[in-house]
Amino acid sequence: MGAHPLGSFVWPLVWLSLATVCTAAPNQATSPVPSADIGRAKIELVFSAMRTQSVFAPEPRALLVAALEGVRSAARAAASSADVETPSFAGGSDAAVNDFRLFAQAAERIAGAAGLAPEVARNAAISGMLAVTPDCSTYYFASGSADPRGVPPASNVSEVRTDVAVPELPTALLAGGIGQIAWTDFSTTGTLSAKAAMDGLLAKGARGWIIDLRGAHGNQGLVQAASWFVPSGVLWREVDRAGKATNIEARDGLLLEKKYQLPIAIAIDGMTFGGPEVLAMALQARGRARVFGERSGGCFGRPVQVDLHDGSYVGVTSLLYTHPDSETKFNNQGLPPDVRVASDRAIEAAAAYLLTVVR
């Protein structure tokens, strides 16, 4: 029997068909894991800020592992068991770009399989990253949500404005001529408000100051306020991520005249955050004030704000404020008072002290 005229052509087709069937079957049995939008660009902005600007210098790999775990947690909260293996991140700054790409691919697969909305996955990833360095000055404000710290956005404005209305601070003249000022405004007009409050109390015969910082927060006008009562020298130190300390000194020409230089007692509590803590530390360290109440909130960092361009922003702690005469750090620990009393008794204790020292 002779050879089929198409034999040399048919057999390759048969083998090709069999090979196609054998290789296609597994793909037909296993559907690919869907990917989802997770807001990759915004997460990358936060990742970049944390690894290049955070005073705590977190490891890039730790940030990405935590971000991925955040997405996993969001999937579990959505009653999904979706998961992928954690990529083998190389770690280090040189590999950061590629490591982030691996993270994003893994996070997108989890989010897709779990059906997570983009903002849910994004918020979970960012929150996970920030939790690597838990700190009062490191925070995430998601668009449409309340600020987690209950305070306005941080500002890079350092000067004290004089072209806006100055709000009045609550004051009281206590027995013995003790002037109490609830200094709750540490905005760009805060020092103007405090100065006006002192003027009003001096006119009533004040002989000593209680600066009530309980529940106060903000970061403006600190050097000016401290320089009102400290003529010279270091007020505090600012320490950056490289460990370099910069002395912040009292400014010449800001010391208030003699009538303002009365004995000072400061009241603080666990809700005293940020600038008010730094002011209390400076006046305490320079021997200009005695502090009463409870340990403060422990927010001795200054954030750099990263805009995510949708109404969201993150604050990344870029430096720490420390004691002027030592390396003592109160960040995340709080400033201890000289006299520890319950918050609601701090004014009473401060007034009793001042009555022993006023002239």
Chain segment 200-219, per-residue pLDDT in tens: 999 999 999 999 999 999 88
Segments of the chain assigned E as strands: 139-141, 171-174, 178-182, 208-212, 234-239, 245-249, 264-268, 289-293, 301-307, 313-322, 339-340
The predicted model gives 15-35 an average pLDDT of 42
Task: Kindly state whether residues 85 and 192 are assigned to the same domain.
Answer: no
Question: Residue 229: inside a domain, yes or no?
Answer: yes
What's the CATH number where 217 sits?
A: 3.90.226.10
Q: The whole model's pTM is what?
A: 0.81
- pLDDT in the model for residue 167: 80
What is the domain count for the chain?
Answer: 2
Task: Kindly state whether residues 236 and 347 are assigned to the same domain.
Answer: yes
Task: Kindly state whether residues 200 and 110 are assigned to the same domain.
Answer: no
Question: Residue 125: inside a domain, yes or no?
Answer: yes
The predicted model gives 160-170 an average pLDDT of 65
Task: Kindly state whether residues 217 and 333 are assigned to the same domain.
Answer: yes
pLDDT band at 144 (very low <50, low <70, confident <90, very high): low
Question: Residue 19: inside a domain, yes or no?
Answer: no
Segments of 31-190 assigned E as strands: 139-141, 171-174, 178-182
Question: Residue 322: inside a domain, yes or no?
Answer: yes
Compare 243 and 142 and report the one with higher pLDDT: 243
- pLDDT in the model for residue 150: 45
Task: Kindly state whether residues 114 and 223 are assigned to the same domain.
Answer: no
- Residue 235 is part of which domain span? 171-302+317-357
Task: Kindly state whether residues 176 and 124 are assigned to the same domain.
Answer: no
Classify 173 as helix, strand or coil. Answer: strand
Statement: residue 56 has pLDDT above 50: yes
- pLDDT in the model for residue 36: 81
Question: Residue 152: inside a domain, yes or no?
Answer: no
Task: Kindly state whether residues 45 and 127 are assigned to the same domain.
Answer: yes
Question: Residue 4: inside a domain, yes or no?
Answer: no
Task: Kindly state whether residues 244 and 346 are assigned to the same domain.
Answer: yes
Task: Kindly state whether residues 83 and 179 are assigned to the same domain.
Answer: no
